[in-house]
Amino acid sequence: MSEICPHTGSSDRSSISQVEKFHIILNMEKEEEKFVNKAEEDEMEIYGYGLCRWKLVLVTVGVICSGGLLLLLLYWMPQWRVKATCKRTTLKDCEVVLLRTTDEFKIWFCAKVCSMRSLGANPLQNPKVSNGHAVPFYESAAEENKNYLKKYLPIRYFTHHSVRYFWNDSDQNFDVVRDLGEPTSCSSIHNEHSTGLTKRMRDYRKTFYGVNEIVVKVPSNFKLLIKEVLNPFYIFQLFSVILWITDEYHYYALAIVIMSVISIVSSLYTIRKQYVMLHDMVAAHSIVRVSVCRGNKEIEEVLSTDLVPGDIMLIPSNGTIMPCDAVLLSGTCIVNESMLTGFSTAKGQLVRSILYPKPTDFKLYRDASLFLLSLVVVAGIGFLYTVVNSILNEVPARTIIIESLDIITITVPPALPAAMTAGIVYAQRRLKKIGIFCISPQRINICGQLNLVCFDKTGTLTEDGLDLWGIQQVENARFLLPEEKACSESLLKSEFVACMATCHSLTKIEGVLSGDPLDLKMFEAIGWILEEATEEETALHNHITPTVVRPSKQLFAESKQATNQEMELFELSTGYEIGIVRQFPFSSVLQRMCVIGRVLGEKRMDAYMKGAPEVIASLCKQETVPVDFERVLEEYTKQGFRVIALAHRKLESKLTWHKVQTINRDAIESNMDFMGLIIMQNKLKQETPAVLEDLRKANIRTVMVTGDNMLTAISVARDCGMILPQEKVIIAEALPPKDGQAARINWHYADTLAKCTSSSPAINSEDIPVKLVHESQSLENLQSKHHFAMNGKSFAVILEHFQDLVPKLVLDGTVFARMAPDQKTQLVEALQNVDYYVGMCGDGANDCGALKRAHGGISLSELEASVASPFTSKTPSISCVPKLIREGRAALITSFCVFKFMALYSIIQYISVALLYSILSNLGDFQFLFIDLAIILVVVFTMSLNRSWKELVAQRPPSGLISGPLLCSVLSQIIICLAFQTFGFFWVKQQSWYEPWTTESDACNVLDATNTSSAHDGNETLHDEHYIKNYENTTLFFISSFQYLIVAIVFSKGKPFRQPCYKNFWFVISVIVLYVFIFFIMLHPVESIDTLLELVCVPYEWRVRILIIVILNVMVSVLTENVLLDMILWKVVFNRDKQGEYRLTIPQPPQEAVDRCGVCFLSSLFGCREKTPKAKYMHLAQELLVDPEWPPKPQTTTEAKVPSQENGSYQIIAVT
């Protein structure tokens, strides 16, 4: 072709080049859509970049020319750093990856792509070379190196947040190496992964999975110091200090340096202490010695850090700490909820969330950034004003630069971050004193906004353990009367007691009976003993000797008289024992467990089963189940009891011991005889009703999320006051699609699930303790409220098929039963999606995800749940919840007060300096020092000491700074301070004795020659280069000093979230001392103080006039804040509703016309209009109030249709 058409070849090459470019562009577009951790909580976008030499050269030059500022900027902004030094490329060829989270924060990270050499790319398969054949593992390392060194493949990966992401050729993306978790079936584990690994295979997998350990490295003090110093806050302080030294403010600069050093040391100590605490907690039980079975059946002792997926562990008879997630291949064991190791396990994810926490998404912090931005704008205005004013007055260029930059440091106070955290630190200390420990201090402020709290039931609302309330046997398909004890003589050899004695998973560990608490309670109730075969006995008989249970001798002794004849009977009876031949363990999916046992001397074996009553009844012969079974069960569950059903079956004689070991579970668990019910009582904790009542009065919703039975949960919810007696409970029973039918929800009231039959009741009402009704609740003017209840299965169906209904259901959903751990987390997320501030209180490992996800997670356990939870209560009681909310509200209000005060401090000082700049003057070095150290720091750190209010109120504090009342408060005080400073500045110039101050000026002697300040004598010979000493400076110094104290008092709000400021001892003392001192030096000048502060002598009459200005300032500030704002704006215009949001309310008749006009005027003045609430749940609640179809009617069904093509929403229809 090229010979015939030589030019065509060139043209083809050109077109091919263009096509390649086109493909590259398309590939780049595809690359933009790459993700890692797809559809997971830590999902991130990923982009590939390669190093670019010419960009590196340009950045190096820029860093040198900017004096390192560009390097700092690139350090703070990783996306700029990568884009400034690299060029975009495909992920397959990249040297650096740029990551961005897909959540609301959009945080950027970068990571270097590394390479290692390995025999293969998939650790779970035998490595393959290019010809596709598996590479055999040689036991001789020399032979392997000789033959296969050339066949090692380069494996590319990068590390982010302690997790490695390896290159996946098939997906053309980086991904985390998967283990033998959910994708692997049980049959695959038994067939392909149950033989153990050779040492070579173990080493091969270890190159991918690494060490099985959570390594929390404690950074060196030097690394922590560098990281802390490079914080933008300290860089700004360094810039300020250099500027102040240049402007000869040496003492002030030195004071700020000392404060910064103290702050850095304190911060380093706190950070390092947290690292050490986390390191010690993780290292305490991370490394153990384990026995591993190798592929050649050899048993090897290794450290748990050397374990890899696929290793076969041998669990010793005396138990061990499980160092990894594992599957039980053979035998039986009892596993306690424990924390595991490895960064990819549940515990590893929790530790990573602590090491690399997400930013706190709270309106206060977002508004604080906007507020600081507005201060920067003000500083920019001051900067321009200073430059223009200085140029007009022909000020030297050096002075212009210094003074214009100095006003920026005045407007944006360097001490603001430290001041903002003061209230949080004090709240954390108070929480610690009452037994609540915090690992995430920033969450304290968020807890002040909580308006919904989810509670686990068992161990949280109720006592930890279950007590046996009684048993109820069945004979001839009829319930007998309930019996309190199960250890009576008549029941000793019954099948009922035999089932209680055998159907459990108890074992002895170091001589102590251990296992599920419920099984322990049941076994202890019958007074039997359990004996397990020793290892020697098992080895002697060459097979597993069964566990034996039998009644204790005390049981027989109590029921027998000590006669000779009866003693013989006693000896015979003590031979009664049952051997447990096989056990089918409890399954949460099946909701039952089963055992096969044999009574000593009997030829046939027995099958015993226990579990959820509904499940057990369905597996029994219907003629053995009482007709009133559902009614009896409902009566118990409505009373809050936990009910367990028992069943028994006599097995066929042909079933031998060997056949039993291989028989299918389903063949045993059928055609059982229903034996009766075990009733367990789970008592409410004493403080539960009172705490929930306090939360209800404070308009804080309470929700129960539990793994228990739904009717039991509803009963407990009524008993503890979560659901009031007059309120209805609607059960949403959702069913998934089946046999061509769409998913549907059946709605019915909890009280109408089962009607009483005509048969005589089998339960005497006097035998069941009656729950107390909350008579204190007034039933007047209460609307009939409804609550939704559902179980975990229904919740899953609704999330998948009825997404439009989720917000409506969580709005009034109160009881969520049979919820799995991940479903608890999903519920918290669903509540947050409708703008609830959600708290979660739980005590177990199954609550960890929800505790971590909630805005305020409170663990009542100091074990595994405390790792995930921001807060841990030393006392296992929900009384910690209102305490935490009260402290959170106090800390939040303190943050508002401090922020407002610091903003006013900046503006007041900004006004003073701006006015003095107009006459080419400024505040003096020690004047700045006195204001910032003696006044500001003392006031800030004492005004934050106000304790929380003694009780929760229905109001909630505002969540952000950008709200009407807060902005009005700040702006009004700024106007007041500006007015009085400006008035004093110009009024002093109108005095008869005023003249531009010089070293010869002596205003004190103009009016009274005898009242001459001694301070003036020493000032005549001093040269004032910066023109600090003048009448305007002295006037503004005194007025502004009082203004700092005035706004501190005005902003120190107390009730209803904090104690009044007069109860804050140190604040009161500080303010009084400062007032007295400033009054003293103003009215009775002292030579040494005037010299130090560079004050000039003014007539005593002017000092009195300054005092009058200050008094007027106090009156106007206090009246504006406490009368105009609190009594008019807050209560009339910005009326707070019960949910803590602001809305406009127009007074209704019989209000006077003048009042209505006033309100309308204020409304139009502040731009307020009656509008829908900002919170989604409030807006939704308003819509549902006028929705005639909500709530759904009882005995109706809602069906989901196929999603429409247009919007993907579901069509909901109701079917009667």
Return the number of other C-beta atoms located less than 10 Å from residue 535's C-beta: 9
- Which ranges of 698-757 does DSSP label H, i.e. alpha helix? 710-719
CA proximity to 872, closest of 861, 883, 856, 888: 861
Q: How far is CA 800 from CA 277, 335, 1042, 1081, 1200, in A?
A: 41, 32, 63, 74, 10
267 is written with which tokens? 């911060």
Catalytic residue chosen out of the listed positions 247, 311, 367, 456: 456
Listed residue (111, 105, 98) closest to 34, CA to CA: 98
228, 904 Cβ separation under 8 angstroms: no
- The label of the residue with tokens 């204190």 reads 776
CA angle 814, 815, 818 (to 5 degrees): 155
Q: Of all helices (H) and strands (E), which one includes residue 159? A: strand 153-160
Kindly give, in sequence order, each residue whose CB lies less than 8 Å from that of residue 1136, ignoring residues fewer than 6 positions away.
955, 1130, 1142
User: d(Cα 599, Cα 585) in Å, to the nearest integer?
Assistant: 20
Report whether the peptide linkage leading into residue 1191 is cis, meaning its omega lies within 30 degrees of zero.
yes
End-to-end CA distance of the chain: 78
How many other C-beta atoms can be found within 10 angstroms of the C-beta atom of residue 791?
23
Among 834, 841, 783, 793, residue whose Cα is nearest residue 811: 834
**Tokens 């949080």 -> residue:** 424
- Cα angle, residue 650 at apex, residues 467 and 626 outer, rounded to 5°: 55
Are 347 and 845 contacting, i.e. CB atoms less than 8 angstroms apart?
no
Mention every residue, 6+ apart, whose C-beta is less than 8 A from residue 535.
Answer: 317
Reduced to 3 states, what is the DSSP secondary structure of residue 1039?
helix
Tell me which residue has tokens 């976008």. Answer: 45
Q: Where are the beta strands (DSSP E) in 361-509?
A: 436-438, 452-455, 467-475, 478-479, 507-509
How many other C-beta atoms can be found within 10 angstroms of the C-beta atom of residue 611? 21
- The torsion region of residue 898 among left (phi > 0), alpha (psi -120 to 50) and beta comes to alpha
Q: Is 456 tagged catalytic?
A: yes
Q: Return the SS3 of 509.
A: strand
- Could you identify the residue written with the tokens 């103009």? 1006
What is the C-alpha to C-alpha distance for residues 731 and 746, in angstroms, rounded to an integer? 8
Contact 921, 478 (CB under 8 A): no
What DSSP designation does 75 have? Answer: H
Q: Label the pairing between strands 642-650 and 547-551.
A: unpaired
Encoded amino acid at 957, one letter: P
Q: Strand pairing of 728-735 and 786-791?
A: parallel
Closest CA to 969 of 893, 908, 901: 901
CA-CA-CA-CA dihedral for 1119, 1122, 1124, 1130, to nearest 10: 170
Using alpha carbons, list the distances in angstroms from residue 907 to 385, 760, 901, 1041.
Answer: 15, 82, 10, 13
What residues contact 360, with CB distance under 8 A and at least 6 apart? 442, 443, 446
Integer Cα distance of 223 and 219 in angstroms: 6
Residues 1198, 802 contacting (CB under 8 angstroms): yes
Contact 703, 454 (CB under 8 A): yes
- Which positions are annotated as active-site residues? 456
